[in-house]
Structure 1
């Protein structure tokens, strides 16, 4: 006799497996449970499968459910997550010997459309650094350096708040960054940025008593910056020069990479500068370049 899915032990065993063996987060387990509940409710309502046997759940039933999700305007990302839930569920039951073959083998996940990275236009970054006035206070000096470092290096928020004075090589005009998985990369920077950093360190020693001697960027009390402080500072100053929806440190990382590719930088070089493990992650910036070229073509070509 097959396993019936209206026996809560069956689903609970799977969710307990996720909790205790896979050690998934509580929110993730709740999401899996809700997906399964929705799927079995659909089988009962659409196919009158009140107590379906595992082996009786054909791929056709699953496709029917996925089609209904699409009709109800669920995104490709949401549908893919639900497919992932079912794959894990049936795989678990194969592992425990309650099922011989998964019905998911012929199910194809919908493609998620790639979203182009949001970035700040070059004219707006020019405005930011040439014309926006930063207060002549410690916070003003810190905020300007935060924005300069982000735009000149493309580093991540976590990399910036953990940036140490010792990682800045003022004689070689480079900054060593400790990225994901403790992977080091060396970023060449302009003499102008190095001067900004030098001046900031000198001012820190002069103006702030007991300032943190290790980390480069500190608040007015001389303590290492919180990520929230950095986020709010970036948001504040980007709001002065651009109307894009997202105004975060990560947008400045996208801006750094997009401006490089728009100006002809080699993609492998951009990959190394960003600290990406594979070229696939960097290739998204070429799409921005293509979109830019299309825009120029439409505006400039008489036959466009």
Structure 2
């Protein structure tokens, strides 16, 4: 099995600062996708199926339905909450009566290839790594936690 090389925190910060420059629906959606992958380590399928009511702003947390319908509550950073709030304002102009959090510009459910393209296109600007995918961001989350001294079993 090939070794998966995580993104550096510098690469991740460069992507986020690039996305910071704009505040369109798409750029806010994409920024939130990057922030959620990196700050929570969630899976692509979990992200795609997030609903608006999965976000608990007051509790600063996110309810995620994982593999085998296992529910987990994930704490959110204040900066991610800010991005969520900004995104939701733009999202209202796209569609109102849709439960899913992440949508295309036409108000449809986002799909796996779109999420892959978002990660790949932004990280292609800052990284020379061969593999640039949502899973590498998930891997980066875990690696950076371990490097900060987190317990291996709690990261698994």
2:71: which partner in 1?
184
Aligned counterpart in structure 1 of residue 126 of structure 2, from 232, 241, 251: 241
Contact 1:152 1:256 in 2 (8 A): yes
Q: CA deviation at 1:132?
A: 5.2
Contact 2:43 2:138 in 1 (8 A): yes
Contact 1:235 1:248 in 2 (8 A): yes
Deviation per residue, 1:137-181 (Å, 9 max, x gap): 322221111111111111111111101111111111111111111
1:297: which partner in 2?
none
2:101: which partner in 1?
216
1:173: which partner in 2?
60
Contact 1:124 1:241 in 2 (8 A): yes
**How many equivalent pairs are there?**
156
How big is the alpha-carbon RMSD for the aligned residues of Structure 1 and Structure 2? 1.7
Structure 2: distance between partners of 1:135 and 1:200: 12
Unaligned runs of 5+ residues in structure 1 are 1-113, 272-304
Matched, 1:138 2:25: yes
Contact 1:138 1:219 in 2 (8 A): no
> 1:228 aligns to what SS in structure 2?
helix
Contact 1:128 1:241 in 2 (8 A): yes
Q: CA deviation at 1:122?
A: 1.5
Structure 2: distance between partners of 1:194 and 1:135: 17
1:119: which partner in 2?
6
Greater share of helix: 1
Q: Given the two structures, how large is their TM-score scaled by the length of structure 1?
A: 0.48
Q: Greater CA radius of gyration, 1 or 2? A: 1
Structure 2: distance between partners of 1:212 and 1:259: 38
Contact 1:211 1:221 in 2 (8 A): no
2:150: which partner in 1?
265
Deviation per residue, 1:176-195 (Å, 9 max, x gap): 11111111111111011012
Structure 1: distance between partners of 2:64 and 2:80: 15
Change (3 A) 1:194 1:132: closer
